[in-house]
Structure 1
Amino acid sequence: MFRTKPAKSRGPVVALLAAASLVLALSGCGVEKVTPGEARSKAAGADGKGGKAGAASGAAVDCATVKCIALTFDAGPGKDTPRLLDILKEKQVPATFFLLGRKHVDRYPQVVKRIADEGHEVANHTWTHRILTELEEDEVREELSRTQDAIEKITGSRPTLMRPPQGRTDDTVSEVSRELGLAQILWSVTAKDYSTTDSALIRQRVLDGAKGDGIILLHDIYDGTVPAVPGIIDELKRRGFTFVTVPQLLAPGSAEPGTVYRP
């Protein structure tokens, strides 16, 4: 991917998030990607057997045979995240939260701790949502490591997953991620929830794109998103989907640092 110097002036985080509507084919261009199925097959081939991962309900899940889907939330936590956690707890659904550092992790430390305590996967979405492919190597490292440090201080654990803003990655981002022990996780469906407050529309966009081994991208910082979640969960369960975290989706494989995963 062609790399440019960062612009001197940048818009607010909301403007950067809006750019996530870019076609997925452009995300991480030039970087090899691994699907969840490939991650599972590789691990099963290495040890000669399959594997299962536990879901929030405590039941074992084998995503090689069960229709799994991962619900993920970017750029939080925010004011609505506690309500989202209430919904997930009520419906016994695990999720993966890609947390933003500045004005989010540092503003809502008790919510970050609750996310971890309730069994969800806590992951990294950089410190300020700068586009990593526009940065120098040391800047990429700072964006990721600051969030790693902040999350570890609150939860006692360092994330093993990250999501690059806009899904933009390249060899430099991959190398820094490998150094920091972070796998890169993209997605298969997004509701573009930054562009609407219509919860019914958000719900329908997710349902239209949902598929087995899918990774759903939502943002728990927008007004229309959290109200859409119960309907998304209920309908996907009715369709026979099992909700898992991203690591559960890859099991018995494990997310390898630096590698880019996308359904």
Structure 2
Amino acid sequence: MFRSRPGRGRAVAITLLAAASLMLTLSGCGVDPLTPQEARAEAGTGDKVGGEAGGAARRVDCAKVKCIALTFDAGPGEDTPHLLDVLKEKQVPATFFLLGSKHVDRYPEVVRRIADEGHEVANHTWSHRILTDLDESEVREELSRTQDAIEKITGRKPTLMRPPQGRTDGTVADVSRELGLAQVLWSITAKDYSTTDSALIRQRVLENAHRDGIILLHDIYDGTVPAVPSIIDELKRRGFTFVTVPELLAPGKAEPGEVYRPEKD
């Protein structure tokens, strides 16, 4: 269903509903998203760059530097090793929201490499079920199973998760809090699930890029990884510094159960 090859029409059709449903889901469930700026403001400015900043070591101060976070959902997949090569060459950290079934369990060596190369490893559920359609025990199963699988490979449980289609509610927030997971949404998407045109993916990201933004891409679709090098090069040319999601929030820390979503300029 989530492979980058033909035969995923139903998955694409379902995913296309994500943007339309996101605002309705959030507005009706009592979950108030926090922006990166709010996360940093709540923590104050006492921590020094390079030290422990809200639990995450900071390379930069995103209150002063033009930061942007590159994130990838629903991997790892066949193209993820090449993506990691690109990120290593260009010295760009990213955040990977990993899918458990047929991904984490199929590519454990890639999961290990993601962690070993300094990227943030995060949770995107076990089987990509829409969490707001599930009861509490089912939500817990979707998240905890992936937590355990990632910990078995990397030695560390994720502290971040992204709900499929960005759909969350009070129950999802409660279970996430119980499991030590903050919820991370996005502000920039190329809708790469709907096209294999790398030039179009690049254009969509660049047109919407903004300071403190979180870019959503998928390393399982054919057009995405080829678009990444030119996206990185152009955003660097515009003065952006790439960071992981924890670095974007520092000196704040992503609090379990909370929802984090940037606002566009």
| TM-score normalised by the chain length of structure 2 | 0.89
Which residue does the alignment assign to 1:172? 171
Q: Unaligned stretches of 5+ in structure 1?
A: 1-10
Does residue 1:77 correspond to 2:81, yes or no? Answer: no
Deviation (angstroms), 1:20: 2.8
* Residues 49-90 of structure 1: per-residue CA shift (max 9 Å, x gap): 254358xxx983000000000000000000000000000000
Q: Counterparts in 2 of 1:7-26, with a 5 A limit? A: 13-22=11-20, 24-26=22-24
The one-letter code matched in structure 2 to 1:31 is V
CA contact (8 A) 1:13 1:129 kept: no
Q: Counterparts in 2 of 1:182-261, with a 5 A limit? A: 182-261=181-260
Does residue 1:52 correspond to 2:49, yes or no? Answer: yes
Measure the CA separation in 2 of the matches of 1:128 and 1:152. Answer: 17
Deviation (angstroms), 1:17: 3.4
Structure 1 pair 111–158 and aligned structure 2 pair: CA distance change class (3 A): same
CA RMSD of aligned residues (A): 1.7
Measure the CA separation in 1 of the matches of 2:21 and 2:119. Answer: 28
The one-letter code matched in structure 2 to 1:28 is L
Measure the CA separation in 2 of the matches of 1:51 and 1:175. Answer: 32
Aligned length: 247
Which residue does the alignment assign to 1:157? 156
CA contact (8 A) 2:22 2:165 kept: no
CA contact (8 A) 1:22 1:166 kept: no
Measure the CA separation in 2 of the matches of 1:102 and 1:70. Answer: 25
CA contact (8 A) 1:175 1:258 kept: yes
* Residues 137-165 of structure 1: per-residue CA shift (max 9 Å, x gap): 00000000000000000000000000000
Give secondary structure in 1 for the equivalent of 2:17.
helix
Q: Counterparts in 2 of 1:28-39, with a 5 A limit? A: 28-29=26-27, 30-39=30-39
CA contact (8 A) 2:123 2:158 kept: yes
Measure the CA separation in 2 of the matches of 1:134 and 1:23. Answer: 13
Give secondary structure in 1 for the equivalent of 2:186.
coil
User: Identity over the aligned pairs, expressed in percent?
Assistant: 78
Q: Unaligned stretches of 5+ in structure 2?
A: 1-8, 52-56
Which residue does the alignment assign to 1:117? 116
CA contact (8 A) 2:199 2:227 kept: yes
Deviation (angstroms), 1:175: 0.3
Which residue does the alignment assign to 1:133? 132
**Which consecutive segments of 4 or more residues in structure 1 shift more than 6 A?**
none
The one-letter code matched in structure 1 to 2:208 is G
Q: Which moved more, 1:97-106 or 1:11-20?
A: 11-20
